[in-house]
Structure formats: C-alpha cells, structure tokens
Chain A
C-alpha cells in the first residue's frame, strides 16, 4: 500500500522565480492538504483540495496556488518566490468522507530560495 509521495525532495530556486511541487496521496484517499513548515515551527496550513476544488485556504497570499487532478494527485505552485518562502513543504492526504479525519504526511519537499 503506497503512502503519500512528493517530488522533488529538494529544490533550490532564485528569488522571483516560480516553483511547482507535486504530491500523490495515499491509496484510497481523496483529499490533499498542503502545509509550509519553517524551521522550529509547526506546519502551517496553506490549502486543501477535494474533488479538484480548493476546499479551504489558510492565511497565505495568492502567490500560492494549487490544483488537484482527477486521480487525486495535486500540485502546489508558488510564484514570485521570496527568501521567506524557504521552508519544508508538506503534503498530507486524508479521506474526507471518513470519520477520523486523520491526515498522513508525505516526506516533504525542502525548498531553498536564494
């Protein structure tokens, strides 16, 4: 049973560039959430996708956008990168119709903006 996968593992970008991160959810899950985790902090919610639509959004600017595909996989796009966007980006999958609301994280993508 494949868990949550993310790509790439690491990424180095220059300020002002754009980046796309990818996530495939755990088998049987239909919902993907994205989080940003800065060093020493807990994960901060960016947004959640369900049925190919953004279901909820956290307090992040419009530079952060996403997409969910029919196979439930998802992308996170960040435009006009800032130095402060350097962080670990985590994808978590869950089953919205399930009673537990448990979220399972992928290994993350470490983004460094120089």
Chain B
C-alpha cells in the first residue's frame, strides 16, 4: 500500500512569513513529485513539479526533494493571504499514477 503522509494542519503563518509544508512517502520507486494547491470548493491546481534530489525554485515557491529520506517539502516565501489553501503532495512511481496525501491546510493571516 503506497502511503503519503502530510500534517493536516492547519498551519497558520503571518503574512510575509515563510510557510513550510512537508510530505513523506512510502514508495521507494517514486520518481516524480508534484505539489497541488486546492482552494476550498475548487479542484487541485498543479503548482510545482520536482524530479531530482535538491531544490527547485519557481517564484515564491521552492520544492525540496530527498529521495533517500523519502521526503519532499514545499516552501512558500513572503506568504500572502491568497496562499491560504490546502496543499496536496503527490508522488508518482512506476505506475505513472500519482498517490495523493490528505493535504495540509495553510492559513496566512494579515
């Protein structure tokens, strides 16, 4: 059974701070890793993809991957109230089907 673990939160951070979202996964065959943002009542939106160990930066978002530790994280710099959403971690293994975690709820307060 492939497992993806995320702290459900809510994670509350002040506006302008760095939000750190973490995810661990059980499938050692996972090769690709995705972060989705889901606003309440809406569908998930792909915001970051990472395929190799290390950091990948895109604007205010940085994804970090450590395959040896089976750990992937998402950092959001200069958090804004509009970043308030649920963030879903989704690794993909050999089946090419992503396995989703339950997501972490992020609240950015002014």
A-to-B contact residues, CB < 8 Å: 33, 35, 40-45, 48, 56, 58, 88, 90, 96, 100-108
Contact = CB atoms under 8 A, between A and B. Distances in A.
Interface string B91-109: 0100111111111000000
Given A33-B97, A101-B96, A104-B46, 19 more contacts: A40-B102, A41-B102, A42-B4, A42-B101, A43-B88, A44-B100, A45-B97, A45-B98, A48-B97, A56-B95, A90-B43, A96-B96, A100-B32, A100-B49, A100-B51, A105-B46, A106-B43, A108-B42, A108-B43
A43 B32 contact: no
Given A101-B92, A105-B45, A108-B43, A42 B103 contact: yes
A105 B96 contact: no
Closest 8 CB pairs of A and B: A42-B100, A105-B43, A108-B43, A43-B100, A42-B102, A105-B44, A101-B96, A107-B43
A42 B88 contact: yes
Interface centre among B43, B95, B102 (most CB of A within 10 A): B43
A74 to B, nearest CB: 15
B25 interface: no
Contacts, number: 51
B12 to A, nearest CB: 18
A107 B102 contact: no
A106 B45 CA distance: 9
B45 to A, nearest CB: 7
Nearest to A106: B43
Nearest to A4: B43
28 contacts: A35-B100, A40-B8, A42-B4, A42-B90, A42-B100, A42-B103, A43-B88, A44-B100, A45-B97, A45-B98, A45-B99, A48-B97, A88-B43, A90-B43, A90-B44, A100-B32, A100-B49, A100-B51, A101-B32, A101-B98, A102-B34, A103-B34, A103-B46, A105-B44, A105-B46, A107-B42, A107-B43, A108-B42
Interface in B51-110: 51, 88, 90, 92, 95-103
Contact of A56 (B43, B46, B97, B101): B97
